[in-house]
A = this chain, B = another copy of it.
């Protein structure tokens, strides 16, 4: 397992190129917009070396028998599934921001689907997948799912788009491998992830075979062009800034990735054209991934609740009933998000082929749907309790201007014992968590599948369970209609 330091060095060694600020850089580890996110990831690597976290973070690989991080583990039980949710809650509570460690949710579904295709079609995807996963575990690599296509006109399937590259596609295939062209958006952590896991963002249909490609690509592969996104308050991440960052330790970074004819050798290809298997894989990955949201959002929310409580304390309002009531509602939202994730894990089942445990897909999609709405209530309550200071607070340059600093120290203060600077630091943290860089809001709204996508899958999976039919029969029997 890598330490945080080794992780950073391995990223530095990869020399990622990134278009940002109107130019191009290749030292992402030193850029103030990127480094704090790298530090967040490094912290999660260091978890593995903290004795008190050992039970939660370390496990044994079912593939190699090696000691590995749970962030690389394929769940072999519901306990494994639940622990994944819990460690993610821990990580986000520790970091106050995205922990970037969900890519392993792909491993189980990948082994399953490649095995199935190989059996049906005589392909060799499964061994490719197995080898790649073993490498990920052995070298303790960070993966970045490359899923979201530009999509162009959402009414049209991939092969019918006016621009044929609006979904990533295979433009060339030869004995050695395949060539990819197109783009992937919403690439969280792409410029500090060792590996890209490329998969379609939707269920392609017949005719879309060229678009049906799942494979792994080194993050700095030739032909990959990374373009930085501009997000809320990233401008504050300038030289010397601190207080105004809110989260002074960790950050977030997202980019767009252009695939300008990227070559992928066959041993890194896991699906190529088998359009009829895509739906199952996508849905299975969704089911694996979405319970994690229950962990990450509740961990994030833990920090928001704590910060809001401390602001209330600093205002002298900690024991006021409506404040207490709102804090409790924030806790209720947090624990319900977590419950949705844990329940999906606890009701997980072994995949037919036995490669992994899969969370319950109904509960998994329900979790993400619930969460996509709940976070807006969370930030509403946080803003309510925090008060007007949340958007009426001078920046740190003013705080440090000696001409006016004494005024601000007096007038931004709360109760005795809570200095103005502490109040302001906490306010900036709440601001950051709520709608700042890498906020809970945006991660919950669309990260890991939109609420609407999950709602539709919730319906579909729900209709497929025996429970629905049972309930229909019960309803008929109870009211006297022949079953």
Say if the beta carbon of A436 comes within 8 Å of chain B: yes
Partner of A416, one of B162, B231, B260: B162
Asked if B344 and A388 make an inter-chain contact with CB atoms under 8 angstroms apart, the answer reads no
Count A interface residues, CB 8 Å.
155
Stretch at the interface among A110-118, A150-158, A170-178: A150-158
- In-complex Cβ contact of A436 among B232, B363, B408, B471 (8 A): B232
Asked whether, in the complex, the Cβ of A459 is within 8 Å of the Cβ of B324, the reply is yes
Inter-chain contacts of A390 with B (CB < 8 A): 442, 445-446
Which residue of B has the minimal Cβ distance to A381? B376
Residues of B close to A428: CB separation below 8 A: 479
Interchain CA distance A207-B481 in the complex, whole Å: 36
Instruction: Map CB proximity to B onto A288-303 as digits: 1 under 8 Å, 0 otherwise.
Output: 0000000000000011
Per-position contact with B for A455-467: 1 when CB-CB < 8 Å, else 0? 1101100100001
The reply to whether A185 and B343 contact each other, CB–CB distance below 8 Å, is no
A186–B388 touching, CB < 8 Å: yes
Closest to A156 in B: B316
Stretch at the interface among A66-74, A235-243, A274-282: A235-243
Contact A246–B479 (Cβ < 8 Å):
yes
In the complex, which of the residues B156, B242, B340 contacts A343, with contact meaning CB atoms closer than 8 Å?
B340
Q: Are A478 and B303 in contact (CB under 8 A)?
A: yes
Contact of A328 among B23, B387, B459 (CB under 8 A): B459
Expressed in whole angstroms, the Cα–Cα distance for A390 and B435 within the complex equals 12
A59 in the interface, Cβ–Cβ < 8 Å? no
- Cβ of A316 to closest chain B Cβ, rounded Å: 4
Asked whether any CB of chain B lies closer than 8 Å to the CB of A393, the reply is yes
Q: Bound complex: CA of A411 vs CA of B362, how far in Å?
A: 33
**CB proximity of A341 to chain B, nearest CB, Å:** 8
Q: Mark A393-433, 1 if CB is under 8 A from B, else 0.
A: 11111101101100110111111100000100110110100
Evaluate contact between A455 and B403: CB separation under 8 angstroms.
no
Q: Is the CB of A153 within 8 A of B388?
A: no
A266 contacts across to B, CB distance below 8 A: none
Q: Is the CB of A231 within 8 A of B152?
A: no
Residues facing B in A141-165 (CB within 8 A) are: 148, 150-156, 162-163, 165
- How far is B18's CA from A403's CA once the two chains are assembled, in angstroms? 12
A222 close to B (CB within 8 Å): no
16 new A-B pairs (CB below 8 Å) besides A153-B415, A325-B325? A148-B392, A155-B415, A165-B411, A183-B410, A228-B394, A228-B395, A230-B244, A232-B232, A256-B394, A256-B411, A336-B366, A339-B366, A343-B343, A383-B441, A388-B446, A425-B481
